[in-house]
Every structure is written in structure tokens, then in C-alpha cells.
A and B are shown apart, each in its own frame.
Chain A
């Protein structure tokens, strides 16, 4: 039902708008883009940056358009001389307390502050003076925090606490010295940071960036004594085009070609690893359903979830699948099976994961995971390397993956979207359990961006209830429900909003785009689903190269060898930091 329209005036022009929205929302719909910085549609209203101020007749002060509701007869001015100057002053104040080193900054040309300064028409520094001084925190293998670049918009703080409910980030000190830090000012590596990298995604500047391994990788690529093997995740091919100004699109073949041009000897598909994961995971599920192990079984391929589990949900460790992530399975197979094939010492092989994820860098550093991935770079890092190496991506002839670990099913492709792992697992588990062919293999009810999704599948007359959750905040909510009253057999968890397509290593949002915009996430996911649709092999267990791997090397799913190479374990970690609403703390 729509309410009766109300009349407002923007810059003296009358408009009819729906009541109950903010000035900014109304203005957006009418085609006025009021500049903004701390505002994010998915996060709570902060009202902190004051960039979106407008003049409202009859109000003593300027009004933050992000938070103030429209009222009947309201006369709003977005562009007067006075408000433009006030806004420019505010952006200038932000800029004056920010390192003036754009040309050596990671986010040069892709920085919201830079763009804003340009839009404001800043020509001069009127008020420059002291600048806050803080050390860079480079302790974490995933996330680098540079407080000097922080402009205190608070998007990371809200992302970390409201969407991810990790509550790692908060403000410290007051006034000019205000700074965003992990609880108790711990080094990032010791904090409760799950390495999901969502703070990087929402940061307008370079206050949060991934730990950059591009120089190390260039060095390795120049080392002729090594065999350089790359494998990239499903979501990388869907989103990498965005780093080159394109819409989400499948650039798999172009990326394979570019990686070879960069100097990789072999380019494999992490989707192969995904198929392998499904083989192991589906078996594990069926074993648990038949009474061997705890239910519900929870997926384990999201690295941020892995850390979150150990810190915040250690009571559920036994519920989580022991399967390694597709990336780690890939590296394990590369350094054993593939090394055997090449008849090379595994130590000569460098396994490089190209991931949409910052937490995968953390996963690769976990001592429990051996053999591990040697270098993990994000979509953003590889995009930069391709640009830096002068490769005319994406306008290059496409190439195919190297064989042996280059063939994948449609099930492996959809791994990158929330619900995809579940869907892939159900396709295989159903057929393994019932021995029948699953007719309708598209589980649309677990696709999409709803926080918690549910489905039921009947296998041999037994109802299997599953749930799918994305974002660590939704995960915590679902797990609380499970603790109270579990009705599920199988739960898929992806730590990032939208799943891996919304990973912390994906390209930054473009001009005037909103980080983690749902439309953008949907488009990326759609790329993966369309890859699945056109594949002839859409079930992991039908992947002939996976079958060959088991036949030649691993034996059966969950065999001793498979267990040794493809499975891992978890340890409860004492959470350090403040965790509100936590069952253990309570």
C-alpha cells in the first residue's frame, strides 16, 4: 500500500514524494545525487561525515539529508552557494587530516574521498595544520589497517558489528585523536578479526586494504627454477571485469590467457577443487545422516567462517565438516598427485590461489593445513598485476585451463554464490543416497540474497532439511536458533554477504556505485548460474577428471588418503575482545 504523496520543494521546484523517506532517498529518486560519504544503505545511519548536508528553510542548522525525513511542504536546497561552501569546507577538513600521498596510494583513482574532493571543486587548502599520526598495522596476513588514511566515516565499524557481528572494530580516543582500532588495540593478527575483508569493501579510502602479495608473486613468476601453478575461484572470473570498468561477466578464458602471459606454467580451475570438495562433503553428510557424527553438518569452505567458528562458536566445532576448502584441496592435489605426474619435487611447485577472498590468505597460513597454498592474491591484486604487466586484458584471445585439474561441473561454478555449495552438495548427495537421477537440479529457494534460506529435500522417503546463510551476522543468528532447537541436517555458511561473489577481495565499487550493492552481487551470482546452465556436466560426481583422480590416486571419497590430504580440523580459540550477546560470555 502506498501512502498519499506529499509536496516538497527541492531547489524551488515542486515535487510529489512518498512520505516516510529521508531527504536523500527522495532526492535520489528525483535525480538529485546529494554528495555523501558515511552513508551506506545496508548499515545504520551514522550521520557522521556531514557531507550530505542540505539547507531546509526554517531550520536553524543544516540538515543531514541521510537521516532527516521529508515532511509536507518542506523546502530543501541542495546546491546554494552557502551549502556548497559548507560542504566543501567539510570535505577540506577531512582531506587536511589525511596523507596527501594519492599518487603512491593503493586506492589512487578509486578513492571516494578523492572523487569527492574533485566534485566539491576544492582548489586550495585553507585550514591545513597538524595531521594525526598512527602506526600502520601490518600484523595480519589478510588485512592491513592504516589509521592515518582513516576518515572516520565508521562504515567498517558498522559493517564489522552490524552485518558481520564480529564487533572487532570500534572507536578509541576522542577529538582529533579519534581512531578506529580492534578491541583493546590488539594487533590485527591477535584480534578477533575473521579476515573476511568486508571492512576493505566498504572503506572509502585505503584505511583498510588487503595484505598485498603482488611483489612476492612477481618475484616467484620470475624464478625459472619453480613451477608456477595458478588456480582461481569461481567468483574471480565473474567480477574481475569490474576492475577494468566492465559489468560482471564471465571472463574465465581471458583470465586463463592473462595468467599464462603473466608467467604461470599451469592454470587450473578452483572449480575442480569445488567438485572434489562436494565428493568429500556429500559423503561426509551421508555418513552423518546415517548416524556417524553430529548433525546438523555445517559447511567449512569459507575461511572467515572457519575463524569465526573457532572464536565464537567453538561448541559447534564437531558439527562442521572436516573438508578443506576447494583452494586448499587444489593445493594439496597440486603438490601430490600433480607433482607425481610431473615427476617433480613438490617443493619446486608454487601453488598460487587467486581468490575473491582476503580470509583465504589467513587460511593458507593455518598450521593445520598442509600442504598449503603458497601465495594467495585477491581479484583486486591480480587485476592490478595484469594491468601492471601491460596485458591488454580483457581484449586478448581466450585460452582454456590446463587439463588434469581444469575441468569442472556446473556445480563447481555456483560455489561462489550463497546457496551454491548447498545446491552442489544436494545434487550429488541425492544421487549417491537414492541411486536415482535428480530431475530438477536447480534449487531456486536457496538462491538469492535473503539472509537465511531454508529448503527440504526428500531422499528415499527421508526429509532432509537444509539451511543456507551468508554473512557472519546472519550466521550467528541462525546458529543461536540451532542451539536452541535444531531442525536441520545440513547448513551452508558463507562468511561474506552474498557469498564469495561479495568477498573481501573483489573489485572496488565504481564511480557513484555503492560497495556491496545488492544488484551488483546479484549480477555476479547470475554470471555463475549462467555458467552452470550451459554446462553439460552439472553434477560434481559426474566430473570425469574428479573420477579419474579418485581412481588413480585417492581411492574412494573419505578414504584414508583423502582424509589425510583433503580434510582438516579446528581448535577452539579463546576469543580476545568484546563479544556482546555471546553464549559463552553470558
Chain B
């Protein structure tokens, strides 16, 4: 049996198990160290993997300020996306003189296609509990709350079991491990609003109100949940804490880049061979991510863009492939780190449509409170819909830029402030596609239905099927002779194209 506390560093464990295939060799697992290697429902498994040793360490030999110092020294920044230095955040709360303080774990993962938090909690719930415990000790809080979306029933169940097990073993409750420190955790379920991932909206939701953000300052560290000082961090941040305490800030600080330390978990998705959950050291390039870890683009297609940061992020084109994955480099390139969504887009995707997709999402999820986000994103969306339907006009791009900038700079919360990013970044990196849509009524990816022309080729045997399925009587022809499509009558529904058994119909964009 593998001995606990052996020389094998935790971060090498997955390596040892999974070997050195390219998917794993460039990865480094700190937050996900136990995911996929232990039984998440067994506290014994966690204990065996040095579980709760970090908690014991802080309770035995570290003062609360020393814990905060250690986290500060490690250079850990918030993994929820904004990248605020975690230790500094804790310090602000620790400084507050208040009997009641709260620790919150933000597990309201809402980005489309992102599942980092779900996997982390499902795979290793105890590490989140341990991270929160350490913060509770460091800032002087007695109550922790995990805010998790109700759409994650298994994660909730595992976390519930973990909390019960931790209580039974005396890791949660009064006088933890014989010390004077008391702390407990409860779970609150989110009701499926994306905006509740925003910290002030999340706290409103816990308080029983509609999840709507409020202006900051005051910041949660000073006036958070129920008006009390509150540390709120995301799942991945919490998962990093026990390792930093155990293996030291110095070791953690040796990983990553100058200003972004440690690793980052990403949900790699889209047009990529190895879709999956990966954890890489900060500073890994997008190219390594896509071609080494991700195994490249399937079906020999060409890479077109990579979208990072979910609906708040941006699309980067090929010229940015050597950008390092860290908070500052990604921001400089015009995207964001975000919470870890990473979507690879190949040549078959239309960038205007991608921008439209994300904006549709943010518009639907806008809480409706502030004007720029509520109204502005709707107007931007209307313009994008128009462009993809071939009704784009001269000046539309400029309008999008103007609105986008106003929304970015004037919105109340992070949702609105980042909502225009997918549009602004695609305009910046793929402006020519917008121009083609607007001026030439052309979609180079043959994606935007309204811009396509359906034509019958010589392959047509005159089976009449297309003529029969056409809802607008645009197809004419006699049986056994080549049919024709009247472009004036065609409504671009694509039914003829889909129904043709002889691949005799082509769709082209001018």
C-alpha cells in the first residue's frame, strides 16, 4: 500500500498513475490532485491521501496571520476568473472586527460547457471543505456556506456525505481536533441563474432575495453575507489551499509565471480531439493546450479560434496561439482567464454566429437590473441577428463597438462588464468575417442559413424528392430530369439539401 506522507509528492500522483501520454504529460494536478484517483465518498481515501493534514498543520503550528502570510506568499489568485490575490482578500476580512464572519465557496458554475467545479466536487469534496476550514481559521469565521447549483445533484450529494463524514470525524463542528477553533459548513442550492456566480448576487441569493448584484464598494470582505465580513472564493481556489499549506508557498510559487502562480483547470471543449478536464501550470501556451494536450483539431480541419473565459471571454485567432495562459497575457491578448472554459473553434464555425451565441446567453441571463446590460446586450444581439440574416448595414460594426464599449465600462457587475467581450474580440480578430456578412452577404463558413444559396448540380437524377419537400415551391422540374431552385422563392430552409439522396444539391455562400 502506498504510504501516506511518502516522498511521492501529491502533484505527481496522477502522473504516476496515468503515465506520460501527451494528454497528461503537460498537465500538473494540484487542485484536481485526487480527482480520479480516490473514492470521493470515502473520507478514508481522503485521509490516506494526506487529507486534513493541512488543517492539522495550521491548527498545530500556525497562527492565523501566518496562514494568511503563507497564502499571500504563494501568489495564489482567485480561480473564479477575476484573479484577485487570495491571501490579500483573506487579510481584508481578517482585519475586520466582527464576531460573525462567513466563508463562502462559490460553486455556481454557469458558463456554457464548463464543468470544472462539478468535477472537482464530485471527485474530491473533502479538499474544498479543508480549504474552507483553513480560511475560517485564518480570518476568524465560524460558518461556511457552499453555494452550488441545483443542476449538480451528484456533486451536492457527495458534498453532503463529505460534510457528514467530516463532522463525524470531528473536522467540522465545535473545537475542531481539540483546538479552540469551531467551524461548520452548510450547503445552499442555486436555482439556475447564471448571474448568481457574481459574488454579490450570490450572497443576495443566500440571503433569500432575488439574485441581483449590488454596487461595490463595500466589498464582501468588509460587508458581505448578511452584512458581515465574508471571504468568497471559487471551488478551484479552495482546492489549492491544502496543498499550499502542506507543500509550502515557495514550492507553489515556483510553478507558473511571474504574476500567475500555480496551475489552472480548464474544461477543454469544442472542435478538439481530446475534450476533457485538464490542469496545466500557468504559462502553458494555447498551442500546447490545443495540439499537445488537446490532440489537435479533428477531421483534418483548420484551427480558427479559441474562446476562453466562457460567455465573458473573448475569441483569439491563430496569431495568439503562442500566448501564455495566465491572467495578464490573456487579458493583454483581448480575452480573459475566466473560470476555465476553453472552446476550440474550427474553420466550419462562423465567428459572427459564435458571438451571437454567447451574447444570446448573456442577454437571457442578464439579471435585468442595470440598463447597459439589460437593454444594451439586447440591441447588440439584434444587430448580430440582422447581420447573420443578411440584413447587416453599413455602420453596424461601429454601432456594436460603441455599444459594446459603453456596456463594458458602465455596467454594474462583471456579467455586464464582460458580456460584450465575445463580440468585441471577434470584431477585433475576425473583422473581415463581419464585413463579408454585411457587404457581400457572405458567410465563409457556410453556416449562416440566410446567406446561403442552394443549387442543383448535374448529379440530379430527377427523383422529385426535393420538389416534394420544398415548403415554398421553389423547386421545379419534371421527373427524371434535372430540377432547379428558384432563388427568389427559396427561403433557405435547407430541406432539399438534407433530403437529397444523391448529394446533388450544394449550398454555397456566394
Q: Which A residues form the contact surface with B (CB < 8 A)?
A: 45-51, 53, 60-62, 64, 66-69, 85-86, 89-90, 93-94, 96-97, 126-127, 129-130, 151-152, 154, 170-171, 173-178, 580
Contact = CB atoms under 8 A, between A and B. Distances in A.
Nearest to B416: A50
B410 to A, nearest CB: 5
A178 B215 contact: no
Contacts, number: 113
Contacts of B370: 47-50
A129 B217 CA distance: 34
B226 to A, nearest CB: 13
A50 B366 contact: no
Given A89-B402, A89-B406, A129-B382, A48 B375 contact: no
B214 A47 contact: yes
B372 interface: yes
B106 interface: no
Given A90-B372, A152-B369, A50 B363 contact: no
B193 A174 contact: yes
B254 interface: no
A171 B204 CA distance: 14
Contact of B366 (A47, A60, A61, A175): A175
A133 B273 CA distance: 45
Most buried by A among B372, B399, B417: B372
Given A174-B368, A175-B368, A176-B375, 14 more contacts: A60-B409, A61-B411, A85-B406, A89-B376, A93-B372, A97-B378, A127-B379, A127-B403, A151-B371, A174-B365, A174-B367, A178-B366, A178-B367, A178-B374
Contacts of A129: 378-379, 382
Interface in B87-111: none
B261 interface: no
Contact of A61 (B377, B378, B402, B408): B408
Contacts of A90: 371-372, 406, 410
Nearest to B212: A171
Contacts of A97: 375, 378
A50 B411 contact: yes
B300 interface: no
B497 to A, nearest CB: 31
B412 A64 contact: yes
Top 9 closest pairs, chain A to chain B, by CB: A178-B368, A47-B215, A67-B215, A93-B375, A127-B379, A129-B382, A175-B366, A176-B378, A61-B409
A46 B417 CA distance: 17
Contact of B379 (A46, A66, A96, A175): A96
A170 B369 contact: no
Interface in B390-417: 399, 402-403, 406, 408-412, 417
B445 interface: no
B302 interface: no
Contact of A175 (B208, B364, B383, B403): B364
A155 to B, nearest CB: 13
Interface in B198-250: 208, 210, 212, 214-215, 217
Interface of B: 193, 195, 208, 210, 212, 214-215, 217, 363-372, 374-379, 382-383, 399, 402-403, 406, 408-412, 417
B454 to A, nearest CB: 30
Contacts of A64: 215, 412
Nearest to B363: A175
A176 B374 contact: yes
Nearest to A177: B368
A115 B270 CA distance: 49
A105 B215 CA distance: 33
A61 B408 CA distance: 7
Contacts of A49: 370-371
A86 B365 contact: no
Contacts of B372: 50, 90, 93
12 contacts: A45-B214, A45-B215, A47-B215, A47-B370, A61-B409, A93-B375, A96-B379, A97-B378, A126-B399, A174-B367, A176-B375, A178-B369
A178 to B, nearest CB: 3
A50 B210 contact: no
A303 B365 CA distance: 40
A523 to B, nearest CB: 32
B217 A69 contact: yes
B409 A86 contact: yes
B369 A175 contact: no
Contacts of A175: 363-366, 368, 374, 377-378
Contacts of A46: 214-215, 369
Contacts of B403: 89, 127
A130 B385 CA distance: 12
Contacts of A48: 369-371, 412
A171 B377 CA distance: 19
Contacts of A174: 193, 195, 364-368
A94 B412 CA distance: 15
Contacts of B374: 152, 175-176, 178
A175 B379 CA distance: 12
A68 B208 CA distance: 26
B172 to A, nearest CB: 28
Nearest to A578: B208
Nearest to B385: A129
A130 to B, nearest CB: 7
A246 B250 CA distance: 73
Nearest to A37: B371
Nearest to B193: A174
Contacts of A177: 368
B402 to A, nearest CB: 7
A47 B410 CA distance: 11
A93 B368 contact: no
Contacts of B210: 170-171
A93 B363 CA distance: 14
A69 B369 CA distance: 21
B218 to A, nearest CB: 9
B410 A61 contact: yes
B342 to A, nearest CB: 24
Contacts of A89: 376, 402-403, 406
B328 to A, nearest CB: 14
A234 to B, nearest CB: 39
A154 B369 contact: yes
Contacts of B408: 61
Contacts of B371: 48-51, 90, 93-94, 151-152
Contacts of B382: 127, 129-130
Contacts of A178: 366-369, 374
Interface-central residue, B368, B372, B378, by most chain A CB under 10 Å: B368
Contacts of B406: 85-86, 89-90
Contacts of A61: 408-411, 417
A137 B311 CA distance: 36
A93 B409 CA distance: 15
Contacts of B364: 174-175
A94 B375 contact: yes
Given A49-B370, A129-B382, A68 B365 contact: no
A578 B382 CA distance: 36
